[in-house]
Structure 1
Amino acid sequence: MFLWRALRSEGFPFVKKILLFALPTRLGGALGVQVILAALAPPGQAMLAEDFHRVLLSRALPAAVDGPDAAPAPEPLPSPGVPPTRLDELRKHVSKSALGMEIGPFHRPICPKREGFNCLTVDILPRDQLLQAYAEDKDVIPFQEHIEEVDVLLSSGLFASVAAYTQGQEARVQKAEGSLSYLISSHNFEHLPDPIAFLDDAATLLADGGFLTMAIPVGSRCFDCFRPLSTTGQLIDAHTSGRVKTTLGAIFDQSASAATHSGGQTIGDRNYDVAQVAVDACGGMIDESSFGALQFTHEFGHSGGIHSFVFNPYSFLLIIEDLQACGFLPLLRVQEVIDRPGQEFIVHIVKISEASRSPLPLDAARRTELLRQAIAYYIDDLNATRQLQNSP
């Protein structure tokens, strides 16, 4: 019922409870937003479109803060039925004149300098080496001119790398701490060996009121569809052990469980037939030889393409709330988690001031609800794919 309580706290009328909870369910589980909207007449769809956008995945916006520390108010939503484009959503808290940073944009930057964005580019290689490394990649060749000049080479942690950049003669900022108005990360978070360290660095780099915006793949809507969701404890272990490298276990999990569709169909949303999906099993067979190859990759190769962790919108929110309840990430607040069509969800996280920080305990009822929602979301996606088998 946390969703209903969140709606009521925003002042929405009682009739919304009927629309949310009186619809038929399947398999005794909760319906996804898209299914609910499809079950409503057009007037009901229009009425719910704005509401779901704000409160579906979060209890309420951060408490209001007066004065210069106040987080920017949410922008007006588009007309019902016309959701913002992916770029518009990712740029929601971006100003072209304000200094920001984009992590690993490669050939598809979200805030490119050529369009006037005052945005620092972070990557593990400079532009000329990226061009050389992907000179024959058919997916990259048409977009080579879009590859940005790299400002910050990521040689260690994010904050340390930016701090090193500020010492250069051509640096556009002389102090790393509190220097950024926004930080954009698209399909990066799931690769990180230590996501908590990344979030800590983001909080240090952002000015008060600045935003970290991330696009993160949904595990059940990509090649991770057979992998279990990651847990808070796994992120805590990664952080407390000071992990700086993708683990052999993560390399094995992706190599053994990466899913492909037998018909060549891309697993890029929930519209695939799970009965036609099979795992790669390390190239076809798991044996001592294939495991030895994984060990070699872990020791000497590049494992940047490995998903160290697997999320969906609710499991991500659960992990963040767990971490904050335990005292991690004290200056970050999740403002929105947006479940978009396709294979990803988008997260907007705001940096608050030191004066605004407060404990964020997590009670059993809230944690139970998020666990149920995370599991139901995963099952709902797989059930949706099974329906394709019975389609005419």
Structure 2
Amino acid sequence: MISAPPMNSRQRALDAVQPRGRIGVEIGPLNRPLIRRADGEILYADHRSTADLRTKYATHPDVTGPDAAPLMEVDLVLDGRTLAEALGPRAPVDYIVASHVMEHVADPIGWLGDMAASLREDGVLFLAVPDKRFTFDFRRVPSTTGDLVAHHLARAATTSPAQIFEHTARTANVDLVAIWAGAGREPPPLFDSQLVSALRNARLVAETGTYLDAHCTVYTPVSFLTVFRELIALDLMPFEIAAITPTERDQLQFYVTLRKHAAASPAERAAATPRLDPRRHHDLPEPPPPPPLNWRARIALAWLVLRTGRSTQETSLHG
């Protein structure tokens, strides 16, 4: 029986939020929204207006080039406002979608609090999150609960010196297909003098408060569950993890559905957290097994075993 192909990001989002007859928000859709206006009532939010985004991405052909899909018209310009403030009387909404957004947020706990304030009880937040094992974050250490708590207690409103240093210093030139195939485990730096640039950027942020975009936090599917189970148990967010789809073969992201469940106790919500096998969803993947030998190769291998006296396993290993 032929198995169905895996769902893409848009199909995952549609399955998670069920937009028909509901109202939702997608954050940062640019020109590739996961939820389209034809799917249901959707509001697009970004930190800049549509005109400002056209200027910002003027040199990005995938966003504003002649062959690119048009930018979505931004309904909610955040720019210093929380989502709840931008929504005003339209809140609460039924769902929120954020693809490759949360890793750019300096204070994910505070950001998730804003998302929760914008959602009705039982509303869902659908996240697409890059898996650090398969992106330019390959060399970085997964973020810890302490990392997120520290930036939350510091009321971090912009990328911290530590976050920008790690982002700049560890960025690697990763070959996604090679890593899944069991190779490419020592990716080269993305550019020269990364440590020097990292220190320079960290000093700039520390001394002037300049905003520099970065992946502020990084995760594997297992590390994400570990961190967020603890944050939920600490009652730092009124969510439970309703579902997680770990990174599929030859892909670089995983998907998480958070459900607002403020009525339940933190212990109950934390206990509902799914569990994954670290060997598959935290460690680097094992290379795929070799294809089975055809009959000619089997005969040749058997003859070699008879002639050399080696076992089949030894012959396979040593040739």
Same fold (TM > 0.5): yes
Distance in 2, Cα, partners of 1:269 & 1:152:
39
RMSD value, Cα: 3.2
Following superposition, the deviation at residue 374 of structure 1 comes to: 4.4
Structure 1 spans left out of the alignment, 5+ residues: 1-41, 47-79, 167-173
* 1:221 correspondence with 2:134: yes
Q: 2:254 aligns with which of 332, 345, 364?
A: 345
Asked if residue 270 in structure 1 is aligned to residue 180 in structure 2, the reply is yes
Query: Within 2, Cα distance between the matches of 1:195 and 1:220?
Result: 20
Contact 2:222 2:282 in 1 (8 A): no
1:336 aligned onto 2:260: no
User: How big is the shift at 1:104?
Assistant: 0.7
Quote how far apart the aligned CAs of 1:357 are. Answer: 3.8
Separation (CA, whole Å) in 2 of partners of 1:235 and 1:286: 24
Q: Whole-Å Cα distance in 2 between the matches of residues 320 and 307 of structure 1? A: 18
- Whether 1:120 aligns to 2:63 is no
Match of 2:189 among 256, 279, 284: 279
Partners in 2 of 1:376 and 1:152 — Cα distance?
39
SS in 1 for 2:40: coil
Among 194, 200, 207, which residue is 2:107 paired with? 194
Distance 2:181 2:257 in 1: 26
Give the alignment partner of residue 247 of structure 1, picking from 154, 157, 160: 160
Q: Which amino acid aligns with 1:311?
A: Y
Identity of aligned residues (%): 22
The 8 Å contact of residues 234 and 266 in structure 2, kept in 1 or not, is answered as no
Secondary structure at the residue paired with 2:22? Answer: coil
2:29 maps to 105
Change (3 A) 1:240 1:340: same
Alpha-carbon shift at residue 309 of structure 1 (Å): 0.7
8 Å Cα contact 1:335/1:349 also seen in 2: yes
Contact 2:129-2:254 within 8 A present in 1 as well: yes
Residues 275-354 of structure 1 mapped to structure 2, 5 A cutoff? 275=185, 277-280=187-190, 283-284=192-193, 286-287=195-196, 291-296=199-204, 299=208, 301-304=210-213, 306-329=214-237, 331-341=238-248, 342-352=251-261, 354=263
Matched residue, 2:306: none
Cα distance change, pair 97–144 in 1 and its aligned pair in 2 (3 A): farther
Separation in 1 of the partners of 2:93 and 2:79?
20
Shift of 1:165: 4.5
- The 3-state SS of whatever aligns with 1:260 is coil
| Max Rg structure | 2
The SS at the match of 1:220 is helix
Which has the higher mean CA deviation after the structures are superposed, 185-194 or 90-99?
90-99
Secondary structure of the structure 1 residue equivalent to 2:165: helix
Secondary structure of the corresponding residue to residue 204 of structure 1: helix
SS of 1:200's equivalent in the other structure is: helix
Structure 2 runs not aligned, ≥5 long: 291-316
Contact 2:26-2:45 within 8 A present in 1 as well: yes
Compute the displacement of 1:300 (Å): 6.1
Q: Residues of 1 paired with 2:178 and 2:45: CA distance?
A: 26
1:272–1:180: structure 2 CA closer, same or farther, 3 Å change rule? Answer: farther
Question: d(CA) in 1 for partners of 2:85 and 2:185?
Answer: 49
- Report the number of matched residues: 285
Aligned to 2:117: 204
1:185 aligned residue (98, 104, 125): 98
- For residues 260 and 194 of structure 1, the distance between their equivalents in structure 2, rounded to whole angstroms, comes to 27
Q: Does 1:88 align with 2:11?
A: yes
